[in-house]
Amino acid sequence: MSNRLVWPRDRNGCYSVRSGYHWLHSVNVVRRLHHPSSSTTVDTDCWKMMWKTMSPSSPLPKIKTFLWRALWNAIAAFVKLFRRKCSQTSLYPLCNCYLETVKHMLLLCPWVETVWFGSPLSLRVDKCSISTLDVWLCSTFSTIGTEQNNGDGIKTIICFLCWHIWKERCKAVIEQCSPSSRDTIQRASNAANEFLSSRERCKANHSPRPKNLAHNTAWLPPLSPLVKLNVDVAWERISKSVGIGMVVRDHNGQFLEGKSLLAQADSALTAECLACLEGCRFSSDWGDQLVSFEFDCLEAVKSINGDISRGKSCSWTWIRKTANEAADHLAQLAKSRMCNEVWAYRPPSSLTFILNKDGLSCPPNKCLV
| Annotated domain spans of the chain | 1-37, 44-198, 227-357
What does the mean pLDDT of the chain come to?
A: 78
Better-predicted residue by pLDDT, 65 or 27: 65
Count of C-beta atoms within a 10 Å radius of residue 35 = 7
Better-predicted residue by pLDDT, 348 or 166: 166
Residue 91 has pLDDT above 60, yes or no: yes
> What residues have CB less than 8 Å from 206, skipping those under 6 apart?
none
> What residues have CB less than 8 Å from 364, skipping those under 6 apart?
254, 255, 256, 345, 346, 347
How far apart (Å, rounded) are the C-alpha atoms in residues 267 and 150? 44
Residue 361 has pLDDT above 50, yes or no: no
Residue 216 has pLDDT above 50, yes or no: no
Residue 146 has pLDDT above 70, yes or no: no
Query: Which range has the worst mean pLDDT, 42-56, 112-126, 132-146, 276-290?
Result: 42-56
Polymer length of the chain = 369
The DSSP secondary structure of 50-117, one letter per residue, reads HHHHTSTTSS-HHHHHHHHHHHTT-S--HHHHHHTTS-S--B-TTTSSSB--HHIIIIISHHHHHHHH
Residue 132 pLDDT level (bands cut at 50, 70, 90): confident
**What mean pLDDT comes out for the span 341-351?**
67
**What mean pLDDT comes out for the span 247-268?**
85
**CATH architecture of the region 227-357:** 2-Layer Sandwich (3.30)
Digit-coded pLDDT (tens) for 102-124: 899 999 999 999 999 998 888 88
How far apart (Å, rounded) are the C-alpha atoms in residues 76 and 206? 40
What is the per-residue pLDDT for 215? 40
The DSSP secondary structure of 299-363, one letter per residue, reads HHHHHHHTTGGGSSSEEEEE--GGG-HHHHHHHHHHHTSSS-EEESSS--HHHHHHHHHTT--SS
How far apart (Å, rounded) are the C-alpha atoms in residues 59 and 156? 6
What is the per-residue pLDDT for 353? 62
Question: Beta 241-249 vs 227-235: how paired, if at all?
Answer: antiparallel
**What mean pLDDT comes out for the span 237-248?**
87
Residue 310 has pLDDT above 60, yes or no: no
pTM of the model as a whole: 0.48
How far apart (Å, rounded) are the C-alpha atoms in residues 348 and 66? 48
Residue 162 pLDDT level (bands cut at 50, 70, 90): very high
Q: In b/e form, how buried is each residue of 67-104, taking b as 16+ CB within 10 angstroms?
A: beebbebebebbbbebeeeebeebbbebeeebebbbbb
